[in-house]
Amino acid sequence: MILAGGLLLLTVGMGALLAPRLSPANPQEIRLKEALLPPSPGHPLGTDQLGRDVLSRMLYGARISLTVGFVAIGLATVLGVLIGAAAGYAGGWLDILLMRIVDILLCFPTLFLILAAVAFLEPGFAPIIGIIGATGWMGVARLVRAEVLSLKERDFILAAKVIGASDTRILGRHLIPNAMAPVLVSATLGVGAAILIESALSFLGIGIQPPMPSWGNILAEGKATLGIAWWLTLIPGIAIFWVVLGCNLLGEGLRQRWKPQ
């Protein structure tokens, strides 16, 4: 399962990395005379309403979608680890305060929080990353807090306190590294969820803005020509499914590998 998920993600990652070499055309070059051409040797995935090559846009869109997924979840993971570790290690009023904030935020649907945040910001690449990251840390915080509560009473932590190790050293060198296994599984699954959220926002017109290609806005552009240009919706849909499936397989494989026996 880990191998299958890794291979799925690797193929997309290599396509995104080699986009300048693999793209048959400039992804933003408009050629109205070649609008809505079906897949052919010259345009392996066809063209869109403006004559832009869909394969080129998909490859460059992979860069955008993967960057949003990994960077946003990286940001969420860092926030969740710091907040969860602080709550679990400090305990007392700080733990109560932070966990009540987490409980309140978890009461709201994630998409609702994101839409509310988008209303106050201009749609774009950096704001979408920040919004997804800032609304996705709560589950990680609860995971890390639970792990830290379990670990901080272990003998090796008590020994570190006895020899005079500072709280910062205990957290950074002992507690957080030993609490990272479930966090990595959660982050792997979260990448797929972040890509889905970005695609949904771009599809609604409040995510990545044209002419910058992303799988979500390519999908949205194909909506108007669904009856005559099936490739404009099928291809980005398959790409999103491919990446999310890869993330889920990899995350599930890691969960089974690290599951306590």
CATH of the domain at 119: 1.10.3720.10
Among 112-121, 153-162, 183-192, 204-213, whose mean pLDDT is lowest?
112-121
Q: Once rounded to an integer, what is the mean pLDDT over residues 121-142?
A: 86
Q: Encode pLDDT of 1-30 as tens digits.
A: 788 888 889 999 999 999 989 888 888 888
pLDDT band at 239 (very low <50, low <70, confident <90, very high): very high
pTM assigned to the model: 0.87
Q: Encode pLDDT of 46-100 as tens digits.
A: 888 888 999 999 999 999 989 999 999 999 999 999 999 999 988 889 999 999 9
Please give the Cα distance from 215 to 230 (Å, whole number). 15
* Rounded percentage of the chain residues whose pLDDT exceeds 90: 23
Tally of CA atoms within 13 A in the half-sphere of 114 that contains its CB: 26
Among 92-96, 109-113, 127-131, whose mean pLDDT is lowest?
109-113
Tally of domains in the chain: 1
Torsion of CA 177, 197, 64, 222, to 10 degrees: 160
Q: Encode pLDDT of 218-227 as tens digits.
A: 888 888 887 7
Range of the structural domain that residue 110 is part of: 2-257
Neighbours of 202 (CB within 10 A): 29
* Rounded percentage of the chain residues whose pLDDT exceeds 70: 98
**Which pLDDT score, from 0 to 100, does residue 260 have?**
52
> Six-digit token pair at 13?
């990652």
Q: Mean pLDDT over all residues of the chain?
A: 86
**Which pLDDT score, from 0 to 100, does residue 259 have?**
61
Please give the Cα distance from 115 to 242 (Å, whole number). 26
**Which pLDDT score, from 0 to 100, does residue 261 have?**
45
Residue 258 has pLDDT above 80, yes or no: no
**Which pLDDT score, from 0 to 100, does residue 177 have?**
87
